A = this chain, B = another copy of it.
Amino acid sequence: MHTFVDPLYRAYKLFADHVSMINGEVRLTYAETWSRCCRLAGALTQLGVQSGERVAILAWNSHQYLEVYMAVPASGRVVVPLNTRHAEPELRYALEDAGARILITDREPGALATTVERVIRLPDDYETLLAQAPEADLGVGVTEDSLAGLFYTGGTTGVSKGVMLSHRNLLANTTNWLIAAQQGPEDTYLVMAPLFHAAGSLAVLATVWTGGRQVILPAFDPGATLDVIAAEQVTVTLGVPTMIAAMAEEQLVRPRQVGSLRSLSHGGSPIATEVVRRARAAFPGAELVHAYGTTETAPLATLLRHEEQRIESNVARSCGQAVAGVDVRVFGPNGHAMPPGEIGEVVVRGPNVMQGYWNKPEQTAEVLRNGWYYTGDLGYMNDQGYIFLVDRAKDMIISGGENVYSTEVEEALYQHPAVLEAAVFGVPDEQWGEAVHAVVVPRAGQEVDAATLIAFCHKHIAGYKVPKQVDLRRDPLPKSGPGKVLKRELRAPFWAGHRAQIN
């Protein structure tokens, strides 16, 4: 029943003179945002972009990015946000797969220019276009089933696929987030995760619908983040665990006035308990929230609220319960629900679940079955419906016939005070099939050796889970755009020449 136009129009009519976005020196009202979105729609019409056609964007976060994210779908086109960490071949693949006609970008497009009809450079070309374009009507011919965006997944798992999210999918996520997070009109939301990722765009429509403000960081930087929280009295934000960790480290060393921050959410990958503990110490006024979801679920599926009060509880390691509006269960191999406590695949159902993968009916059929989306994440549910993720299905290590979930080993390592970053994966082993292997970056100024960490792990987890080897490194671990550790890259050298390589 609702589309992207409804939040935008409501904010324009009810909050015309309220601040909608703050991006560095730029402050826009909802009247200005509405006008700019209508003119972007008008410019696309002038360029001959038809309803249903794709418009890609490759850029740092900005208010223009938010306009593209909202106005392209609101005017009936399909937005394709591209991952800024991707290399040219991956970007070319996404542009060609999507059949994008336009690329809006803040960088030299290079050979990508040949894949689209037109490149619009940010900010100059874009602003020139908007300045001369007429305001087009938004919403013409747009229904809740219209495709709103193609979101290319990838980075840590396999080949990139265009996740088709409809207006209904993204509006459902909007209400789900507003209800679950109790975000309201007085809130100022900080966009700090990249907007091409669900962690960045999760609350965009939600904030507009309630008439709140959005503060936009071009790219994450812990110092800049804390500065803008203090300057703009940010109340709510969400990032990936590496961001939360970096913010906490920075705040503990160089504290800012961040008392306005009432809600700090994280998602996208597992968080170490020690990071939660440090975030609690750094942001004592903020509720810590663990959000779990996938691009395919637009994205929110579960939420663990008040994580900071639960560090010692039996749900501390959970990603919470299904939010209202989303049905989350754990299925066994036969497609039936597993009993409480038993590991299976996490499945999701609701109006937020994607329409499918763009031009990939087989891959779609693999993951959308009988109305359920199969996440590929392994986990279990306790008897109160709390979901515990044990690992990505593909990240499970099978060593001597025993299943080892890498997050559990990483958790053990993170409990050691000298460990700043840790990644655990399987490497080929003649005796065991796979051996548990760890890569660790120690905290600056701290010395620790592999034997100490191995002995430390033996105190916390079963012997077969303890890393056989611990690799100590000085450089930060490689990460994908949204900040997930790229285990694939760490793992690759070990598996070169082996058939069993796991992506």
User: A1 with B175: in contact, given A327-B6, A385-B14 (CB under 8 Å)?
Assistant: no
Contacts of A210 in B (CB 8 A): 179, 324
A325 smallest CB distance to B (angstroms): 7
Is A193's beta carbon under 8 Å from chain B?
no
Partner of A14, one of B2, B6, B17, B322: B322
Given contacts A1-B172, A351-B1, contact A322 B384 (CB under 8 A): no
Closest B residue, CB atoms, query A185? B305
**What's the Cα separation between A16 and B210 when bound, in Å?**
32
B14 lies within 8 A of A384 (CB): yes
In residues 1-54 of chain A, which contact B (Cβ within 8 Å)? 1-2, 6-7, 10, 13-17
A300 CB, min distance to chain B CBs, angstroms: 14
Partner of A7, one of B1, B2, B17, B324: B324
Contacts of A7 in B (CB 8 A): 324
Given contacts A1-B351, A182-B184, contact A175 B325 (CB under 8 A): yes
Chain B residues contacting A179 (CB-CB under 8 Å) are: 175, 178-179, 184, 209-210
Q: Which of A285-330 contact B (CB under 8 A)?
A: 305, 321-322, 324-325, 327
Interface check A481, CB cutoff 8 A? no
The smallest C-beta distance from A248 to any residue of chain B, in angstroms, reads: 26
Q: Is the CB of A325 within 8 A of B2?
A: yes
Interface size band for A: 20 to 34
A350 near B: Cβ within 8 Å?
yes
Q: Are B10 and A324 in contact (CB under 8 A)?
A: yes
A423-442 vs B, CB cutoff 8 Å, 1 = contact: the mask equals 00000000000000000000
A6-B327, A210-B324 are known; give 9 further A-B pairs, CB within 8 A: A1-B172, A2-B325, A7-B324, A13-B385, A14-B321, A14-B385, A17-B384, A175-B179, A179-B210
Cβ contact within 8 Å between A322 and B1: no
Contacts of A154-192 to chain B: CB distance below 8 A:
172, 175, 178-179, 182, 184-185
Interface residues of A (CB under 8 A from B): 1-2, 6-7, 10, 13-17, 172, 175, 178-179, 182, 184-185, 209-210, 305, 321-322, 324-325, 327, 350-351, 383-385
How far, in whole Å, are A351 and B184 apart by their CA atoms in the complex?
Answer: 21
* Min CB gap A307→B, angstroms: 15
A-B residue pairs in contact (CB < 8 Å), sample of 29? A1-B172, A1-B350, A1-B351, A2-B325, A2-B351, A6-B327, A7-B324, A10-B322, A10-B324, A10-B327, A13-B385, A14-B321, A14-B322, A14-B384, A14-B385, A15-B384, A175-B175, A175-B179, A175-B325, A178-B178, A178-B179, A179-B179, A179-B184, A179-B209, A182-B182, A182-B184, A185-B305, A209-B324, A210-B324
Question: Are the C-beta atoms of A384 and B321 separated by less than 8 Å?
Answer: no
Q: Within 8 Å CB of A17, what residues of B? A: 384
Q: Closest CB-CB distance, A2 to chain B, in whole Å?
A: 7
Which residue of B is nearest A172, CB measured? Answer: B1
Give the distance to chain B from A257, nearest Cβ to Cβ, in Å.
25
User: Among the interface residues A172, A209, A210, A325, which one has the most CB atoms of the partner chain B within 10 A?
Assistant: A325
Instruction: Report how far A425 CA is from B327 CA in the complex, Å.
Output: 52
A54–B16 alpha-carbon span in the complex (Å): 46
Shortest Cβ distance from residue A354 to the other chain B in the assembled complex, whole angstroms:
14
Docked Cα-Cα span, A385 to B384, in Å, equals 43
Bound complex: CA A324 to CA B1 (Å): 13
Q: In the complex, what distance in Å separates the CA atom of A2 from the CA atom of B10?
A: 24
Q: Determine the residue in chain B with the shortest Cβ distance to A7.
A: B324
- Complex CA distance for A6 and B172, rounded to whole angstroms: 14
Contacts of A325 in B (CB 8 A): 2, 6, 175
Cα of A174 to Cα of B42 in the assembled complex, Å: 36
Q: How far is the CB of A177 from chain B (nearest CB, A)?
A: 10
* A2, A179, A384 pick with most chain B CB within 10 angstroms: A179
A178 contacts across to B, CB distance below 8 A: 178-179, 324
